[in-house]
Structure 1
Amino acid sequence: MSANGLWLVTARDLKLAGRRRVEALLPLAFFLIAASLFPLGVGAEPSMLRQTAPGVVWVCALLAAMFSLNTLYATDDADGSLDQMLLCGQPIMLIAAGKALAHWLLTGLPLVVASPVLGLLFDMQPQAIAIMALSLLLGTPVLSLLGSVGAALTLGLRGGGALILLLVLPLCIPVLIFGAGAVVMVDAGLSAQGHLSLLAALLLLALLAAPPATAAALRISTS
């Protein structure tokens, strides 16, 4: 089983995103703007900011990751590109994995890179900022993989964006809990190893289960 399909689909999506740079930057802009508004609402008390930072950053990251899921397959389905990819002879599972990888590179990775800026805004300690970035690095790929399944299941349905949120958000709650919990543990002077290990386990599980599930959903949605 060749991995060419995965890399070709990923490169194609990245190239298309490069032609629509403003649209590609919307999740990152939402992440930064939404998270930066919270200090204005809760006040500038450093202890309050540090206490709310993990939950605020992770909730904003989760919503930003959901931002572009509605068009993950819908655009390709509308112009016929999806049918061509499914008929090209490459395993559908690798095509699904390539789409999820491109989504993470365009959405999840920028959130990881931008998270230290928000850490400074919330007056977080350097170790807490590092753990927050690491938790996002482990958790955001899970969001993309689960989101890919939801986007495939709702392909072609009216109101697909709302259905994706209803399907995917409950599945993402463990990622949110363990991601924010890792930072909370560091702030409390405890080890975050347990939470990070659980995030890594969720990532491994998503890598194994999400692409086959997405491939099956695509077969059903395009049949």
Structure 2
Amino acid sequence: MFLVDGKPLRAFLASVSAIAGLAVSGQAMAQSVVVRSTGPSAQAYPQGRKLPAGASVTLKAGDHVTVLDKAGTRVLNGPGTFALNGQVNRDAAGGTQLATMMARSGASRTRTGAVRGAAGGPAMVAPTGPENIWYIDVSKGGTYCVADPATVVLWRPEKTEEGTGKLLSQDGSTADVTWRAGSALKVWPAASVPLVDGQTYTFSNAVGMPVKIRTVLLAQVPSDELEVAGMIAEKGCTAQLDMLANLAQSSSVGG
């Protein structure tokens, strides 16, 4: 029997493999994802770029780079150099908001229509964008990663009155989409317009210009928020990266 450091060779190799696996996993968990970037350094830090653990971001005056890492979602304002070491803790409210936005609640939330405030309390302020990254904003369109084709939801910004629109696929399939008054959510009409990986759809209504919606179906979705962001960045789902970037606007750091 071959021995290495007093251990059988098979056991030694298994230990090395486990340690290597933990190291790779740790690096993946510690990496950062750029979810929005504007200014002179936007080309160096484009939306969707992954940055390794412990990376430093050097920005010029006028740069605004939003990153998602284990510390949360935050805005880095240039000039300056910022270490992405995960030591900046986000507040509990911000963490809860991010977890809620990335939860795969899907079509279940459409059953009761609009989301309401607590009984007897003031009405909730209408959101300026989807409160969940798995919702598709029909007012903007874009490329969206789909976690579960059976629970995709179409979101509209104006929910006071009844709303209607039409969804058209590349193969000619169409479906009328109708929101009830007071509801911002509508389940994708998959029976009439099936969701297909890489397909581009057109949504149109009488209120605004038609928008293009491209869908990317995911075979599996990680449980970790940062890994989800990294996956949608790799797939080019920029509409969802924009949603994540919007979370950070109230808590910018830097000059």
Which of 1 and 2 has higher RCO (CA within 8 Å, sep 6+)?
Answer: 1
Same fold, TM exceeding 0.5? no
Identify the structure with the greater strand proportion: 2
Q: If the length of structure 1 is used for normalisation, what is the TM-score? A: 0.24
